Amino acid sequence: MELKTKSKRPEMNCSIDVFYDEAKGFSSYINDSATYKAVLVESGSFVMEENGEYRVITAPAAMAINEKADLKIVSESGVVTGTVYFKPTFIREEFTFDAISSGKYDKFFAAVENGDQMNPGELMYSAIRGVGAEFGNDFKDSIHQDALLLLEFTWHRRNVVVYSLTEQEYAAAVRIIRSLKHELEKQPDNFWLLRTRYFLITLLFTATADFYRDSRQDEIYKDPLVAKVARYMWENIGNDISLSDILKEFSINKNALNEAFNNEKSMSCMAYLEQLRMNFANKLLQFTDYSVSEVGNICGYSDANYFSKVFKKHMGMSASEYQKHMKDLC
């Protein structure tokens, strides 16, 4: 199936290279080799495998999947997704897959010695400031500004890039995607095509312009068992998870489970759960307005004092001190 949207308006005999699909789980077209895919993971969690490595993804999240990807889902629970399919030529006619793969637009990033050391938002900020003559001059050309919109699909040396979303980021992404969906499905007037392009560019720009700053999900697992247990932890992170719960869920004994985690993460299974919870609490304290007790509850700690004590063990300061410190920095 060609993933296009055909005009329903009799005076417009055309189709465009943008298509939207919602699914429980993932769209059946997710590995289409002729489009980029911008995916909003609305609920659930899953483990994906790529080149023998595993990543655990929990909603809400966003995914940028290029035309080369072969998404392999190892396990999932309660996943609901909305996927925008598009060809980069819809952004600009010059952006064929061959042209992008040729590297002809790569000179824009010559100022960056190692692509993984600067995120797209920092790139844009550096470009605006004119850091590096070639960098600044390239940014003045509209074609390079447009190419920047496709960074998430072309520049990370990965075919699938995943980002965690805060509630605010998720709400913003939902508004954009729902608006795009409305234009594609309802086509209320002859300007539906123009508005579709606007909403797609807005979605891509939002991601590029530091919207997902420092939120890329790069936790890699070599052992599929560890990845599946980690997914279970994320899925139940706000609940009271005991070691016996995990042993029962995965029909495994304690020694074998801890051996797998020690080999993979150099710590026991329950120590890793605590680390996951502290990393999650760290993000919530930085990027949300939840109180310390609310963050503790979300992360599975009903006792705020105990939560703060555990947090201090990991971060060197209490949760309230850390939250104040981060707010003062902003």
Band of the pLDDT at 227, cuts 50, 70, 90?
very high
The verdict on 239 and 294 lying in the same domain is: yes
Total domains present in the chain: 2
Q: Which helix (H) or strand (E) holds 201?
A: helix 192-206
Same domain, 252 and 149: no
User: Is residue 263 located within the same domain as residue 171?
Assistant: no
Q: Residues 228, 121: one domain?
A: no
Domain boundary among 166, 198, 220: 220
Which residues face 53 on adjacent strands? 50
pLDDT digits (tens, 9 = 90+) for 57-93: 999 999 999 999 999 999 999 999 999 999 999 999 9
| Residue 133 pLDDT class (50, 70, 90 cuts) | very low
Residue 111 has pLDDT above 80, yes or no: no
The percent of residues above 90 in pLDDT, for the chain, comes to 64
Q: How far apart are CA 198 and CA 196, in angstroms?
A: 5
pLDDT band at 131 (very low <50, low <70, confident <90, very high): very low
Burial class (CB in 10 A: 0-12, 13-18, 19+), 56: buried
Structure confidence by residue, pLDDT tens digits, 47-56: 999 888 999 9
Query: Residues 270, 205: one domain?
Result: no
End of a domain among 172, 193, 220?
Answer: 220
Structure-token match 């029909």, residue found: 251
> Which residues form the domain of 176?
1-220
Q: State the number of CA atoms in the 13 A half-sphere of 18 facing the CB.
A: 26
Residue 147: the pLDDT is 84
Arithmetic mean of pLDDT, 19-26: 97
Q: Is it the case that residue 146 has pLDDT exceeding 50? A: yes
> 45 and 156: one domain?
yes
CA distance 275 to 299: 11
Q: How far is CA 160 from CA 49, 50, 274, in A?
A: 10, 8, 28
Q: What is the pTM of this model?
A: 0.79
CATH assignment at residue 278: 1.10.10.60
